[in-house]
Homo-oligomer: A and B are copies of this chain.
Amino acid sequence: MTARAGGRLTIADVARAAGVSTSAVSYALNGKPGVSEATRARVIEVAGELGWRPHSAARSLSAARTGTVGLVLARPASTLGDESFYMQLITGIEAELAEQGTGLLLQLVADEDACVEVYRRWAAQGRVDGVLVTDVVREDPRPAFLRGAALPAVVMGGEVAAGLPRVVGDDQWAVQQVVEHLAQLGHQRIARVSGHPGFLHVHQRDEAFVAAARSAGLRPQVVPTDFTAQASRRATAGLLAHRARPTAVVYDNDVMAVAALAAVHAQGVRVPEDLSLVAWDDSTLCSLVHPRLTAVARDIRALGALAARRLLALLSGAQVEVDEPGPPSHLVVRESTAAPGPGPGLGPARG
């Protein structure tokens, strides 16, 4: 009942041990008709005893499916490390894939064009059965390529029509919740320190923010950044230097919000008495600091899992809706937001 010395255990070994043909083993293990239930059970038992598993490459070659899904991330290494978003997303994706015995091939690249090159190579090599796409940018070359290359794909969190199946966010709704929260507290001038405007979700949050603020009678400002702590400090300092400074600022990630908190704190600006702060994408980090940050929370893991499940469905030939809503956002109100101070005076000199 052991493999021949030096060799790999193959389907032939299992067939021999079970006293059936190799095709019977294949049918039995893959849950296909063509074998009696008695034979199927015996084959499964024998395979288990021997510890045989179908050779991945052989199966891929004959079945024309790899059992692997690809994820290419086009963000700087520092961003990937600092924002828990990506690891949470990967965790969610992986959990779903693992459940179905599918592997995750991960590659990190510099930009969307490099991303397309990876897709092109993977498609030519038959390396993956499909890919998961995130961080769609304006004029993103990926959707068009993926449609043309016949490489199945699901876009995560994209807000615009990409012509690909998508798990869509509810950013617009979430932006409204944030603005309403600030309006109810009595804020009149609110600002948004946003991420890189090339990202579609950033652009759409920007527009939603301005629209929601105006319709609530507030005066909005938007400052674009590159998602880094340094850019956040600079943007925040710029906002606070104005005569008509905002009394509340919404940041596009947790790192920028926390960096701003520390920076304004060091200048004697009190949060939330002098300035209210909101972070987008709640994280452990937001609860780590003092005061804890009010934040827009999403179940990123669920987003990843949902996208993975959809891709697997797509690969198994199921009909899938083009758009499916992702996990809902909700505002987690903590201590960093409160009613604005009495007047334009700001800082420790006040009171």
Footprint of B on A, CB under 8 Å? 8-9, 51-58, 60-61, 66, 68, 77-78, 80-82, 84, 86-88, 90-91, 94-95, 98, 103-109, 120-121, 124-127, 229, 255, 258-259, 262-263, 265-266, 283-285, 287-290, 301
Contact = CB atoms under 8 A, between A and B. Distances in A.
A334 to B, nearest CB: 12
A262 B107 CA distance: 36
Given A55-B61, A103-B127, A262 B288 contact: yes
A16 B288 CA distance: 64
A81 B84 contact: yes
Contacts of A127: 56, 103
Contacts of A287: 229
A68 B105 contact: yes
B229 A288 contact: yes
A interface: dominant SS: helix
Count chain B CB atoms within 10 A of each CB in A91, A104, A105, A288 and give the residue with the most.
A288
A266 B290 contact: yes
A109 B104 CA distance: 13
A54 B80 CA distance: 31
Given A57-B66, A124-B52, A106 B106 contact: yes
B105 A103 contact: yes
9 contacts: A56-B66, A82-B283, A82-B284, A98-B107, A103-B107, A105-B105, A105-B106, A229-B288, A289-B289
